[in-house]
């Protein structure tokens, strides 16, 4: 990699740098932005480090927002942080307070990995001010060239200070396609138990980024190889060594990761699908008996949802993953009637059917089978034809509602209304031609006795 004398820096971070230089402050690009630029990747965000204190930053950039107690001011998405040294407390987390410094070298050396400790910039304006240049006290540029992720300083000590660095190592190595330097990796294994100190939100934050890398299995492999998985995702760790009759030599964890990678190839931007693929067999270790896993879909749906909720994934995503896991064992047969197809869609939910078929494709591929094994292509074709007709599949599409039943049948509100509506919908899903108000009210009248309690309550 030839190092450009001047990196290509977008207007916004450049404006921040120039304004700081002109006001007499030292300012440098640091962190992931400059790292990714050097690698020829598109940076997701830009970080600037400066000797200007937060109050001064807010004076210079009135549009800036003071984000946290670490002295980061965000100026139009550019995270601008005052040079600092960290205080180390005993709880293996990031410090609660920091001390500012004027020494940029000190600021770089408190950073986690050498490739994140590269700076480009210069001291503030003065007659003697040099041109902006690279600052690389930890050998980050050489590591970047070699594709090596190396802790700054003594790895075990750095992981002990802040155990989130363990997960950042796994995520960054996966994201960048880097090898973890051996001493850093050894320290990860030895420090793996420290992840127990992390809040589940912080673990979730890293997991969200891990699942989005490509191929997504890499980060989880690193977690497994370093024993970090045991503390972070014990439900997945439990899959190691559980036998599968799918791909020769693959255990259940291998199958989950192969399914995950297949999902990422099938539908690159669907993170919900990736999560469901990773977790679809999460219920197997708890249900295995005599080489079978009866009920693992239901148990897994619950475990998967608990896991994601614990890691603070958004509720709507947790719910979709739960439903996907719950329904992932469907078994299509060519003799399914059209009514059976509609009942299938009603059960799964129209909004989830496509994704469920994708999940099955990924599961098939992760089992060493063709993507459409199990006549999935036929099922897809038939579903498309069936759904094109727009058959009623939900209570909202029924030609009567609860109020109609109460009024027309002169009954009180109660659980019987829901029971009746469900039975009506069953009959309409089986035979859509019954979805007329007259027919449904007649049906409801004749079924009423099955739902109402004994007379005094009427
Ligand atoms: P990305 O933005 O792609 O997640 P990044 O490396 O920019 O990657 P940020 O969380 O934006 O990550 O952090 C910016 C910089 O701050 C990092 O590059 C690193 O230098 C430093 N840093 C972040 N977290 C830590 C940490 N836990 N310990 C030490 N340094 C850290
Ligand atoms: Mg960043």
What integer pLDDT is reported at residue 71 of this predicted model?
Answer: 76
Question: What does each C-alpha distance from 362 to 239, 267, 344 come to in angstroms?
Answer: 18, 10, 20
Q: Identify which of 112, 191, 209 to mutate to test ligand 1's pocket (most ligand atoms within 8 A of the CB).
A: 112
Domain 151-327: state its class: mainly alpha
Say which ligand is closest to the CA of 174.
Answer: 1
* pLDDT number for residue 283: 97
Ligand 1, atom 12: closest residue by C-alpha: 32
Lowest mean pLDDT among 88-102, 166-180, 265-279, 318-332: 88-102
CA of 258 to the centre of ligand 1 (A): 29
Q: pLDDT at residue 70 above 80?
A: no
**By CB neighbour count within 10 A (0-12 exposed, 13-18 middle, 19+ buried), where does 408 fall?**
middle
* 32 in contact with ligand 1, CB cutoff 6 A: yes
Phi and psi at 356, nearest 5°, equal -65, -40
Query: What does the pLDDT read at residue 341?
Result: 98
Q: Ligand 1: distance of its center to the CA of 274 in Å?
A: 25
Q: Report whether pLDDT(395) > 70.
A: yes
Matching residue, tokens 């990196």: 7
Ligand 2 centroid to 47 CA: how many Å? 6
Instruction: Please tell me the number of the ligand nearest to residue 107's CA.
Output: 1
Whether the per-residue pLDDT at 286 is higher than 60: the answer is: yes
CA of 170 to the centre of ligand 1 (A): 13
Mean pLDDT along residues 366-391? 97
Q: Decide yes or no: CATH 3.30.460.10 for domain 11-146.
A: yes
Q: Please work out whether the CB of residue 140 comes within 6 Å of at least one atom of ligand 1.
A: no
Task: Decide if pLDDT at 45 tops 70.
Answer: yes
Q: Whose CA is nearest to atom 30 of ligand 1?
A: 111
CA angle (196 as vertex; 190, 201 as ends), nearest 5: 130
How far apart are the CA of 306 and the centre of ligand 2, in A? Answer: 29
In the predicted model, what is the mean pLDDT of the chain? Answer: 94
- Interacting residues of 393 by C-beta distance below 8 A, sequence separation 6+: 342, 345, 346, 350, 429
Ligand 1 atom nearest to CA at 47? 14
Task: For the chain, give every domain's residue range.
Answer: 11-146, 151-327, 395-457
**CB distance 304 to 321 below 8 Å:** yes
Q: How far apart are CA 361 and CA 386, in angstroms?
A: 21
Region 217-244: mean pLDDT is: 96
Q: How far is CA 104 from CA 48, 132, 177, 189, 310, in A?
A: 12, 14, 28, 31, 38
Q: How many whole angstroms from 112 Cα to the centroid of ligand 1?
A: 7
pLDDT at position 446 over 90: yes
H-helix or E-strand spanning residue 72: strand 72-75
Q: What is 18-68 written as a DSSP string?
A: HHHHHTT--EEEEHHHHHHHHHTPPPS--EEEESS-HHHHHHH-TT-EE-S
Q: Give, for 133, the enclosing helix (H) or strand (E).
A: strand 133-135
Say whether pLDDT at 69 is over 80.
no
> 342 or 3: which carries more pLDDT confidence?
342
Region 181-204: what's the mean pLDDT?
96
pLDDT band of residue 126 (cuts 50, 70, 90) is confident
Ligand 2 centroid to 170 CA: how many Å?
A: 16
Note the pLDDT tens digit of each residue in 234-279.
999 999 999 988 888 899 999 999 999 999 999 999 999 999 999 9
In this model, does residue 1 exceed pLDDT 70?
no
Task: Report helix angle 415-430 to 338-348, nearest 10.
Answer: 140
**Beta partners for 74?**
65, 79
Q: What is the pLDDT of residues 294-328, one digit of tens each?
A: 999 999 999 999 999 999 999 999 999 999 999 99
Name the residue of 49, 88, 168 whose CB sits within 8 Å of the most ligand 1 atoms, as the mutation to test its pocket: 168
Is the C-beta atom of 31 inside 6 A of ligand 1? yes
pLDDT of residue 280: 98
Does residue 26 register a pLDDT over 90? yes
Confidence of residue 96 (pLDDT cuts 50, 70, 90): low
**Which two structure tokens, joined as six digits, stand for 456?**
């005094």
- Do you find a cis peptide bond into 350, omega within 30 degrees of 0? no
Which pTM does this prediction carry? 0.92
* Side-chain-facing half-sphere of 212: CA atoms under 13 Å: 8
> 274 alpha carbon to ligand 2 midpoint, in Å?
24
Q: Do domains 11-146 and 151-327 have the same CATH topology?
A: no
More confident residue, 157 or 90: 157
Q: How far is the CA of 148 from the centre of ligand 1 (A)?
A: 16
3-state class (DSSP) for residue 226: coil
* Residue from 114, 118, 196 nearest 160 by CA: 196
CA separation for the pair 355, 269 (Å, rounded) = 12
Model confidence at 457, in pLDDT bands (50, 70, 90)?
low
Coil, helix or strand at residue 423: helix
Give the whole-angstrom CA distance, residue 239 versus residue 149: 28
Q: Mean pLDDT across the stretch 437-448?
A: 95
CB of 116 closer than 6 angstroms to any ligand 1 atom: yes
At 380 the pLDDT is: 98
Residue % of the chain over a pLDDT of 90: 86
Write the pLDDT tens digit of every residue in 403-426: 999 999 999 999 999 999 999 999
* Ligand 1 site, residue 95, Cβ cutoff 6 A: no
Among 2-11, 188-197, 298-307, 433-442, the range scoring the smallest mean pLDDT is 2-11
The secondary structure of residue 415, as a DSSP letter, is H
Asked whether the predicted pLDDT for residue 225 surpasses 90, the reply is yes
Q: How confident is the model at residue 37 (pLDDT cuts 50, 70, 90)?
A: very high
Q: What percent of the chain has pLDDT over 70?
A: 96
Ligand 1, atom 8: closest residue by C-alpha: 32
Cβ atoms of residues 136 and 119 within 8 Å: yes
Query: pLDDT tens digits for 332-347?
Result: 999 999 999 999 999 9
Structure tokens at 192: 């793996």
Of the candidates 41, 15, 40, 42, the one whose C-alpha atom is nearest the C-alpha of residue 29 is 15
DSSP-assigned states of every residue in 159-208:
HHH-THHHHHHHHHHHHHTPEEPHHHHHHHHHHGGGGGGS-HHHHHHHHH
Nearest ligand to residue 175 Cα: 1
What pLDDT shows up at residue 112?
97
* Ligand 1 site, residue 378, Cβ cutoff 6 A: no
């Amino acid at each position: 990699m030839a190092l450009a004398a001047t990196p290509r820096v977008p207007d916004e971070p450049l404006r921040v740098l120039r304004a700081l230089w002109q006001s007499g402050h030292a300012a440098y690009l640091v962190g992931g932005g400059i790292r990714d630029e050097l690698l020829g990747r598109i940076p997701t965000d830009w970080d600037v480090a400066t000797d200007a204190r937060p109050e001064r930053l807010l004076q210079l950039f009135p549009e800036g927002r003071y984000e946290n107690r670490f002295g980061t001011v965000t100026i139009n998405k550019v995270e601008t942080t005052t040079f600092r040294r960290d205080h180390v407390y005993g709880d293996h987390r990031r410090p609660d307070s920091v001390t500012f410094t004027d020494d940029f070298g000190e600021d770089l050396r408190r950073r986690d990995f050498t490739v994140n400790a590269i700076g480009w910039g210069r001291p503030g304006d003065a007659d003697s001010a040099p041109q902006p240049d690279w600052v690389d006290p930890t050998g980050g540029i050489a590591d970047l060239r070699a594709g090596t992720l190396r802790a700054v300083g003594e790895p075990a000590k750095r992981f002990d200070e802040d155990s989130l660095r363990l997960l950042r190592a796994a995520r960054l190595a996966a994201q960048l396609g880097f090898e973890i330097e051996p001493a850093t990796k050894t320290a990860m294994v030895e420090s793996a138990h420290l992840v127990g100190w992390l809040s589940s939100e912080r673990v979730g934050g890293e997991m969200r980024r891990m699942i989005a890398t490509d191929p997504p299995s890499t980060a989880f492999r690193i977690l497994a190889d370093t024993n970090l998985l045991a503390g972070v995702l014990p439900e997945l760790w439990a899959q190691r060594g559980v036998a599968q009759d799918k791909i020769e030599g693959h255990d259940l964890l291998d199958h989950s990761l192969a399914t995950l990678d297949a999902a990422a190839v099938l539908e690159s931007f669907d993170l919900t699908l990736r999560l469901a693929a990773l977790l679809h067999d999460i219920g197997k270790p708890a249900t295995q008996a005599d080489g079978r896993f009866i009920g693992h879909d239901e148990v897994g749906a619950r475990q998967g949802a608990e896991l994601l909720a614990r890691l603070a994934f958004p509720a709507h995503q947790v719910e979709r993953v739960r439903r996907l896991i719950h329904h992932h064992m469907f078994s299509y047969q060519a003799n399914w009637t059209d009514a059976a197809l509609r009942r299938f869609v009603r059960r799964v939910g129209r909004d989830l059917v496509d994704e469920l078929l994708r999940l099955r494709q990924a599961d098939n591929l992760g089992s060493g089978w063709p993507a459409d094994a199990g006549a999935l292509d036929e099922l897809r074709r038939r579903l498309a034809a069936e759904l094109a007709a727009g058959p009623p599949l939900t209570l909202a599409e029924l030609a009567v509602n609860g109020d109609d039943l109460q009024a027309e049948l002169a009954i009180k509100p109660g659980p019987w209304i829901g029971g009746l509506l469900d039975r009506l919908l069953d009959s309409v899903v089986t035979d859509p031609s019954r979805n007329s108000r007259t027919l449904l009210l007649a049906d409801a009248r004749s079924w009423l006795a099955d739902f109402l309690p004994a007379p005094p309550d009427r």
